[in-house]
Chains A and B, each alone.
Chain A
């Protein structure tokens, strides 16, 4: 009976989503059933787990200024969950999603996390994008002992029992990139520019220390733009006056588009000026326009153009789900990892209990990630590689450099 059952499940799975199943083949040892895991045993903390289902939350901004960035993450997380369900779910339980809107408003993120954890008793939450939203939600997760998978590359300086950070922390994204540009472009002078909030400021702090102490370079200017400011004339002139070898940029949101368009218009295109940015993914390119970026570099752990089996499948799946025109950026991919990592955690723990899952996950090696091999570090961040992408007119990046596997270090000594 069970075998038959298993056979059906598998065929259904394969028929439905061969690719996803192939991924699953790598991800789960073998097909499993709710029957093997009585709810009472796998859920001792009163989470929303039944014999057939388990509830999770997705918490991003569907409205407000941040919707621009967070939509991709929502799509990726839903895709991953759909694929997992196609494979029979987790411990034989189908995943039910409760989506909440953070509305680009940090307090709302706190309120919604509270709702997801205390009312809906979700087993895990995939969400938050800006540091501010995470900072707002974090105390809630710690108090209610929830489990959050956070997709964005961020400033680090944080490590919580209740959070797994599937994006890169600052040092992973910054150091290797700077090393490369210094070596590749013989860069000596750097101009640091970012939007005026914690992530760029912390990143620039680390960058400056690295440039001055390890690269023997010189920072000739450091500039922060008010969020949402769209006028760069003066800033650009300052840069022209300083003539840096490299502009190191972390401008975000609406400003980002204005920044590149005006930079180009002022004659500072890739032919004349080297720029390495840590805030431009394929998503941003949609707004900026390939022609304005052509030849500039981004330091990310993932680019859509990445060539490997996993990624080809992932991109195909994503486009199938959300249309040919859709693009995939670094954060979108990191968000896609969240559900898979949670699945692994639960299955390794054999339980949905947060405490058990949390200890089970570190050390896990995810070989099937679109970005390639990643490993969960005890400090809840991922060991991952850094890539340098050179932007092309068509809005895709050509990967020109790939680092080795980088150890995450949220509290870097000597960089604080």
Chain B
């Protein structure tokens, strides 16, 4: 479109957005601001859980079973202790459990998305840039992956990992397997987007120019192509994060999630749903509301980010 074309390397969309408009549109979107505040508060309280939480629910020695099922802000009939959000069946302080559980959920979510992102970007870049057989193999693998529903993939990986891990490591293993399982079921969309963008970018003048002056493919991919695909990747990553947190919860409902001694939000909800009819609503309600707030805010942020980072839609 440029009337007097000057061959300059276009700035990446992300860069431009950060420079100028991102913060501006952010300030103009009350939804985005509220979501950001919620996410920030939740993430901070998860990270700082050891400082904030009144008790450490992961330390079994500190639990008093007789505190079990204490309603919120009501003294326990036996021990007289009182808890802000009540206690669960093990006498764990629900508030502390949520803080610690959110840590696990967030850790699993972030790590899984990061894993999926790194894998997806790498494979997407390679298949888009190199093409040929490499591309065919990678994208067919992606098809196979898509052929299989993500929860089945996750269950499969969980099953295999459980089988091959030495028994003594299984407890710690659960979380890493979750990360692997969710990450592996999630990389395809990163790969597809990155590959698509790479196909477009690699024929642009600046990439051709970089190639002509003898840049290595690796350098071209990292320095020139990658920055241009970062904004869609960022959007997918945000939404994937919310999905990963929910996926973890779903897996734990199917019995392949985080162990109950180190419960994630999902595990807490699975445990809590058993008390839905028995009147101990707080065991379900508080974790569920926390999960909803977390996932919803991340989703809303992702939504806003997508619109904000896509200059064509503004």
Is the pairing of A and B real? no
Chain A: residues with CB nearer than 8 A to chain B?
Answer: none
